[in-house]
Amino acid sequence: MIQLMILGIDIGGTHTDAVCLKGRKILSTSKTTTGRDLVDSILEAVDRLGIEYQGVTRVILSTTLSTNAIVEKKYAKTGMIVSAGPGIDPTRYFLSDAFHLVKGAIDHRGREYVPIDKEEVLNASRQMKNSGVECVGIVSKFSVRNSVHESSIASLIKDDFTYFCQGHTMSGSLNFPRRLNTTYFNVAVMPVQERFVSSVQEALSRLGINAPLFFLKADGGTYASSAANRLPVETILSGPAASMMGALALTDMTEGTALVLDIGGTTTDIGILLNGIPVFEPKGVDIGGLKTLVRGLKVYSVGAGGDSCVWIKDGDLQVGPGRSGPPACMGGPAPTPMDAFAALGKIDTGDSEKAIEVLKPLADDLGTDIPRLSTRIISIMVENIRKGALAFVDQVNSNPVYTIHEMLHPDIVRPQRAILIGGPAHLLKPYLEESLHMECEVPGHAMVANALGAALARTTAQITLLADTQLKRIICPELHMEKEAGQTLSMDELKVLGFDAIRANASLLGLSDDVEFSIIEEQSFNMVRGFSTVGRNMRVKIQTRPGILSEWSRQ
């Protein structure tokens, strides 16, 4: 068997990390400063690895490209054609002037009540074209139940615009406002993503790397660049996913419940792994203050990091939540928890004299000495992290449930251990162990955990199937698939149909690894009308199991 040689690159806001792996061996790692041009940053990070490029079989990128484009609103002029029908006033969700509300109404079972008006759509399209719109999102309410309005609008305008995308292909989940946001952002960043993919491919191929290119998604899975071109919005917020997958790769945590604490300069990001699978945001992640349908990891951020500012408020010592710069011992302006560690002689690097100098006035103010003050600073930081972790676990456990079975037999999340990554992880380990009352592990290579997470994450995809045997329909919005449902269709048959559909559409979905299916949601109802059963309504969400490439975890 030819061993995979994988290049994983995590382009963060400040640093770009790269790692090259072969089998279970880390051949090389590098860390560089992220520059203005992301392609240059990638090349620099790859160059520093000092590896033979010819052997590379796969390249995975975790980038802030889409996130930045969305947050900084640096994307092409984007318009939307929206049909909503009755409900909450849809104009309240319009993100720009180029939003066009057209006629059309579909109900919760996917029945059409008001058809699309062709002239109205063409008119909206002309207006957008005249005003310089390049990308168009098409969204109708309940399109995941019946996509006919979205697809008829698409076929009417497809020749006028290079970039357009339909809401139902983004996600099979119900939520019209989120569908609007997701579709808008997705189509808006399509040109940016496409240009980026082709320049990265060109640059890599100049180095002699012609391996397929993959991107890390917010859900901790990866997908091929062709799928990323189609659904770039899935790459938003891949940073936390990279660290979570890195923690998973470095610890082989496939059983039990673990907290992952990524302790950075300003914040500690907390995630949960349940039997090796991260906990997801149930409805989708937020970006730029807007809610999307993008499936992403649930991460709780606490304003407590190694560089958090230490200050006094009404006579009480405070740590964080802000950061005023690097620690004083590293040349920064103000005291931080890192200075407390420096003052206690727990770190070799940095100027401990400087640390003591900035801590002294605080100690005097509080009438204590430097060692006691330092210990208090650390314990306050640790306490803030502990409170955050508890609040997060509480939040996960208070998710509403909809069946008596779940009400009487709840699955309660109780973390048994913690994985610590990030700069100050090893320093905080003994303190966190005492405070959390659980074993804490700081894995090796934690410095490049993110790049490693990107490198080793499996390709993933998710689809939703809805069968309504009364209306004789099976639909899968993500794959734009519609089939006839027989009267006797069973849930098991529906699942098999879903598995087959994923396999048949592997390239569209950007899947490349062996897939293992898991069912995320499953519901089946008899439909009763007038005291007799007229059909079955079945819903199922299938995902290919996220995780670490088996080549890595098997050994």
Partner 1 sequence: MIRSEKNTGLIFFPAYDWEISPTHPERKERLLYTQDQVLEEGVLDIEGIKEFKAGLADEHDINRAHFCIPDVSSRITPSHNVSAGGCIEAARLVLEGVVDNAFALVRPPGHHAMRVVQGARGFCNINIEAVMVEWVRWHYPRIKKIAIVDTDCHHGDGTQDIYWHDPDVLYISIHQDGRTLYPGSGFPSEYGGPNAAGLTLNIPLPPRTGDEGILYAMEHLVMPVISDFKPDLVINSAGQDNHYTDPITNMSFTAGGYARLNEILKPDICVLEGGYSIEGALPYVNMGIILALAGVDFSYVKEPDLDPMKLRQDPKITDYIQRLCEQILAMWKAREELRPERKPFMERHRSIFYDTDGISENQQEVYRYCDACPGTFKIDSAASTGYHILGVHIPHRACNACRGQGLEWFENPDRRYYTVYLQDMDQDRYISRKV
> Given the rule CB under 8 A, which residues bind partner 1?
85-89, 92, 105, 107-109, 113-114, 141-142, 173-178, 283, 289-291, 398-405, 407-408, 523, 525-528, 530-533, 537
Q: Least distance to partner 1 from the beta carbon of 529, Å?
A: 9
Q: Least distance to partner 1 from the beta carbon of 175, Å?
A: 5
- Tokens at 488, concatenated: 């006797």
Instruction: Say how far apart CA 141 and CA 441 lie, in whole Å.
Output: 47
Residue with tokens 């509080």: 366
Instruction: Say how far apart CA 53 and CA 49 lie, in whole Å.
Output: 10
Q: Least distance to partner 1 from the beta carbon of 527, Å?
A: 6
Q: Least distance to partner 1 from the beta carbon of 259, Å?
A: 22
Q: Least distance to partner 1 from the beta carbon of 151, Å?
A: 18
Is 449 buried (19+), middle (13-18) or exposed (0-12) by CB count in 10 A?
buried
Of the candidates 540, 533, 504, the one whose C-alpha atom is nearest the C-alpha of residue 519 is 540
Rounded (to 5) percent helix, strand, coil in the chain: 40, 30, 35
What is the SS3 assignment for 124? helix
Minimum CB distance to partner 1 smaller for 141 or for 386: 141
Q: What is the number of alpha carbons within 13 Å of residue 256 lying toward its C-beta?
A: 14
Minimum CB distance to partner 1 smaller for 484 or for 531: 531
Instruction: Say how far apart CA 190 and CA 314 lie, in whole Å.
Output: 51
Maximum CA pair distance of the chain? 83
Minimum CB distance to partner 1 smaller for 290 or for 370: 290
Minimum CB distance to partner 1 smaller for 177 or for 371: 177
Q: Least distance to partner 1 from the beta carbon of 493, Å?
A: 20
Buried b / exposed e along 244-257 (16+ C-beta atoms within 10 A): bbbbbbbbebeeeb
Q: Least distance to partner 1 from the beta carbon of 461, Å?
A: 22
Distances (CA, A) of 414 to 23, 113, 256, 269, 419: 34, 48, 9, 18, 14
Q: Least distance to partner 1 from the beta carbon of 475, Å?
A: 14
Minimum CB distance to partner 1 smaller for 142 or for 552: 142
Residue with tokens 């997701």: 182
- Tokens at 458, concatenated: 């499996």
Q: What is the number of alpha carbons within 13 Å of residue 82 lying toward its C-beta?
A: 27
DSSP of 310-346: EEEETTEEEEEEEE-SSBGGGT-SB--HHHHHHHTT-
Q: Least distance to partner 1 from the beta carbon of 187, Å?
A: 20
Minimum CB distance to partner 1 smaller for 12 or for 104: 104
DSSP lists the bridge partners of residue 457 as: 548
Distance in angstroms between the alpha carbons of the first and the last residue of the chain: 14
Q: Least distance to partner 1 from the beta carbon of 293, Å?
A: 10
Minimum CB distance to partner 1 smaller for 151 or for 175: 175
Minimum CB distance to partner 1 smaller for 283 or for 495: 283
- Tokens at 361, concatenated: 């006035």
Minimum CB distance to partner 1 smaller for 254 or for 533: 533
Instruction: Say how far apart CA 347 and CA 161 lie, in whole Å.
Output: 58
Minimum CB distance to partner 1 smaller for 92 or for 437: 92
Minimum CB distance to partner 1 smaller for 179 or for 376: 179
Q: Least distance to partner 1 from the beta carbon of 446, Å?
A: 36
Q: Specify whether the CB–CB gap between 383 and 361 falls below 8 A.
A: no
